[in-house]
Structure 1
Amino acid sequence: MERNEFIDALKREGYAEIASVTRDANGTVDDHVHSFEAKALILHGELMISIGAAQQIYRTGDVFHLQANVNHSERYGPEGVQYLVGRK
């Protein structure tokens, strides 16, 4: 999905806050929750999200959706990751 198309879709879906996020290569964030729902487009790099025993890897062009208050951890690829995220 293209960046502008993704932004338009976020706005239609009620995501009022849109931000660009960059994370360092090979970084991690241990288990945590967000009080907001998030939907993001990977612009560059790789992100792995773990929820319980399930792990999903997202790469450039992929979209991920995470409901509010879901306990998860994150791991970033060897090039780090940059993504565009909508929050509501």
Structure 2
Amino acid sequence: MERDEFINALKREGYAEIATVTRDAHGTVDDHVHPFEAKALILHGELAIRIGTAEQVYGTGDVFHLQADESHSERVGSEGVQYLVGRK
């Protein structure tokens, strides 16, 4: 999915806050939750998200979606990661 197409989709779906996040290579974030729903498009790099015992790896062009208060951990790939995220 292209960046502009994704932004338009976020707006249609009610995501009022849109931001770009950049994380350094090999970074990790232990289990945590967010008080908001998040939907993101990977712009560059790779991000692995673990929910419970299942881990999904997302690369450039992939979209991930997390519900509010959904416990998850994150692991950044060897090139770092940059993603565009909508929050509501």
Give the corresponding residue for 1:6.
6
Give the corresponding residue for 1:48.
48
Instruction: Give deviations 1:33-79, integer Å, cap 9, x for gaps.
Output: 00000000000000000011000000000000000000100000000
* In structure 2, C-alpha distance between the alignment counterparts of 1:68 and 1:31, rounded to whole Å: 14
Where does structure 1 differ by over 3 angstroms across 4 or more consecutive aligned residues?
Answer: none
* In structure 2, C-alpha distance between the alignment counterparts of 1:63 and 1:28, rounded to whole Å: 19
Shift of 1:2: 0.3
Fraction of identical pairs, as percent: 82
* In structure 1, C-alpha distance between the alignment counterparts of 2:67 and 2:26, rounded to whole Å: 24
User: TM-score, normalised on structure 2?
Assistant: 0.99
Matches within 5 A, 1:1-88: 1-88=1-88
After superposition, the CA RMSD in angstroms is 0.3
Shift of 1:13: 0.1
User: TM-score, normalised on structure 1?
Assistant: 0.99
Aligned AA (2:83): Y
* In structure 1, C-alpha distance between the alignment counterparts of 2:65 and 2:31, rounded to whole Å: 17
